């Protein structure tokens, strides 16, 4: 089933192609950047970041007779606002520039950096933690590594192969790779010309399905889910590229309000997989992190280190935010992760 450029079915075209992004030209972006920098200077700080617009195209022709082509718009931004020793970060990515709410998010980031004051160390111990959408997106980006790919299933490794339908988390948690979504960077087919399916890796808290390409699907007796991928630094392998954690109904303020004493973690950095079987990841917090006291943001925090299980964190999630934030995934063509803020009970920060 080919997808032919601008003669795409209207529902597909609406996900891929947005005139608002085409109109978001260099002049508009430059003026916006100027307003953000002026606002940061007025707060006694600085602003650094990018505002990007692009068109993505992919054409596939295979010896098996597949002929596919599609084009999609893309818009994104990132901002680091710094005031003194404190910083705050904002970013988002999508097909439609008009829904990014950049100035509002920039104002919030500048305000957080200005409010942080003198930063204190992250208390060493186990905390109730509210992760912002960017931090959650970093955590769920590791989920495919826990056995949710065709090669892992073929090798008998990981959750799909060894714990099918096992309960991992509360039923409100679903993590899917979804090319039919309006969020992130949906694209209708992969590099082998196979149309993409929605694949729920974690489905209502249970182990779901794996993403596959033609080779791994053949090895497991199934059909490709349309996730063939070739990267510069790795062998061809199926890849979840539009990873989404489904939102809940809470505002971020409500998540924070449900914590008597804990941490707000805006963003995670230098994250590395430690143990795929346990779902353990090592990393650090970064930018815009605060103590929470009596349901309010309090003192700003320095960078803190953690080693924790992503699966354990999802299992201890008791509330989910309503707003999805998207960030790119390095070394993955057209790849991104979209996630809401979440509240996790009992997440360890520190060296002990």
Only one residue has tokens 């307003």, namely 35
pLDDT per residue as tens digits for the range 299-336: 999 999 999 999 999 999 999 999 999 999 988 999 99
pLDDT per residue as tens digits for the range 172-222: 999 999 999 999 999 999 999 999 989 999 999 999 999 999 999 999 999
Mean pLDDT, all residues of the chain = 94
pLDDT per residue as tens digits for the range 139-161: 999 999 999 999 999 999 999 99
Query: Do residue 133 and residue 193 come from a single domain?
Result: yes
In the predicted model, what is the mean pLDDT of residues 124-145? 97
Q: Could you give the C-alpha distances from 319 to 17, 18, 130, 283, in angstroms and in order?
A: 33, 33, 9, 23
Look at residues 294, 32, 332, 41 and name the one whose alpha carbon lies nearest to residue 187. Answer: 332
Domain termination residue (choose one: 115, 137, 152): 115
Query: Do residue 239 and residue 100 come from a single domain?
Result: no
Residue-level pLDDT at 9: 61
User: pLDDT-derived band of residue 3, with 50, 70 and 90 as boundaries?
Assistant: low
Please tell me the pTM assigned to this model. Answer: 0.94
pLDDT per residue as tens digits for the range 12-71: 778 899 999 999 999 999 999 999 999 999 999 999 999 999 999 999 998 888 899 999
Q: What DSSP assignment string belongs to 219-236?
A: HHTS---S----BTTB--
Query: Do residue 70 and residue 35 come from a single domain?
Result: yes
Q: How far apart are CA 333 and CA 15, in angstroms?
A: 18
Query: Do residue 134 and residue 254 come from a single domain?
Result: yes
Q: Are strands 342-349 and 317-320 parallel, antiparallel or unpaired?
A: antiparallel
Residue-level pLDDT at 4: 52
Residue 2: pLDDT over 90: no
Domain termination residue (choose one: 115, 146, 174): 115
Query: Do residue 57 and residue 135 come from a single domain?
Result: no
Q: Note whether 50 and 37 are within 8 A (CB).
A: no
Question: CA torsion sign, 338 to 343 to 345 to 346?
Answer: positive
In the predicted model, what is the mean pLDDT of residues 272-286? 94
Neighbours of 186 (CB within 10 A): 22
Query: Do residue 70 and residue 127 come from a single domain?
Result: no
Q: Note whether 137 and 325 are within 8 A (CB).
A: yes
In the predicted model, what is the mean pLDDT of residues 279-289? 95
Look at residues 18, 67, 336 and name the one whose alpha carbon lies nearest to residue 189. Answer: 67
Domain termination residue (choose one: 63, 84, 115): 115
Residue-level pLDDT at 233: 72
Q: Could you give the C-alpha distances from 141 to 136, 138, 148, 242, 320, in angstroms and in order?
A: 8, 5, 12, 10, 17
% of the chain exceeding 90 in pLDDT: 89
* The pair of three-digit structure tokens given for residue 144, joined into one six-digit string: 């495919």
Query: Do residue 109 and residue 227 come from a single domain?
Result: no
* The pair of three-digit structure tokens given for residue 92, joined into one six-digit string: 């988002």
Query: Do residue 209 and residue 278 come from a single domain?
Result: yes
Q: How far apart are CA 287 and CA 285, in angstroms?
A: 7
Query: Do residue 200 and residue 322 come from a single domain?
Result: yes
Residue-level pLDDT at 64: 83
Query: Do residue 80 and residue 156 come from a single domain?
Result: no
Query: Do residue 18 and residue 86 come from a single domain?
Result: yes
Look at residues 144, 139, 141 and name the one whose alpha carbon lies nearest to residue 216. Answer: 144
Number of domains in the chain: 2
Residue with more model confidence, 13 or 273? 273
Query: Do residue 147 and residue 164 come from a single domain?
Result: yes
Please calculate the CA angle 332-336-341 and round it to the nearest 5 degrees.
145
Residue 287: pLDDT over 80: yes
The DSSP code for 287 is: S
Q: Note whether 143 and 243 are within 8 A (CB).
A: yes
Look at residues 49, 109, 36 and name the one whose alpha carbon lies nearest to residue 77. Answer: 49
> Whole domain around residue 228: which residue ranges?
119-352
pLDDT per residue as tens digits for the range 6-18: 455 666 778 899 9
């Amino acid at each position: 089933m080919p997808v032919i450029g601008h003669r795409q079915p209207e529902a597909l075209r609406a996900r891929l192609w947005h005139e608002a992004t085409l109109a978001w030209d260099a002049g508009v972006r430059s003026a916006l950047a100027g307003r953000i920098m002026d606002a940061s200077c007025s707060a006694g700080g600085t602003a650094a970041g990018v505002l990007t617009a692009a068109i993505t195209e992919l054409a596939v022709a295979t010896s098996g007779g597949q002929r596919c082509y599609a084009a999609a718009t893309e818009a994104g931004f990132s901002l680091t606002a710094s005031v003194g020793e404190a910083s705050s970060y904002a970013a988002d990515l999508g097909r439609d520039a008009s829904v990014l709410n950049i100035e509002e998010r920039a104002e919030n980031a500048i305000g957080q950096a200005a409010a942080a004051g003198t930063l204190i160390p992250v208390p060493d111990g186990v905390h109730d933690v509210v992760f912002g959408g960017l931090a959650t997106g970093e955590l769920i980006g590791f989920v495919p590594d826990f056995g949710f790919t065709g090669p892992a299933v073929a090798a008998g490794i990981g959750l799909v192969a060894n714990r099918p339908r096992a309960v991992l988390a509360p039923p409100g948690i679903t993590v899917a790779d979804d090319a039919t979504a309006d969020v992130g960077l949906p694209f209708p087919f992969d590099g082998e010309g196979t149309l993409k399916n929605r694949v729920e890796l974690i489905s209502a808290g249970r182990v779901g399905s794996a993403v596959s390409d033609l080779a791994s699907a053949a090895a497991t007796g199934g059909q490709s889910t349309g996730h063939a991928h070739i990267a510069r630094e790795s062998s061809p392998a199926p890849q979840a590229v539009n990873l989404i954690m489904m939102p809940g109904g809470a505002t971020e303020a409500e998540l924070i309000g449900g914590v008597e004493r804990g941490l707000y973690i805006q963003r995670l950095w230098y994250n590395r997989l430690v143990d795929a079987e346990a779902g353990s990841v090592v990393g650090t917090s970064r930018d815009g992190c605060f103590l929470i006291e009596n349901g309010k943001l309090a003192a700003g925090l320095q960078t803190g280190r953690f080693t924790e299980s992503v699966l354990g964190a999802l299992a201890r999630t008791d509330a989910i935010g309503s707003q999805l934030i998207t960030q790119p995934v390095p070394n993955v063509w057209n790849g991104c992760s979209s996630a809401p803020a979440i509240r996790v009970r009992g997440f360890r920060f520190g060296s002990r």
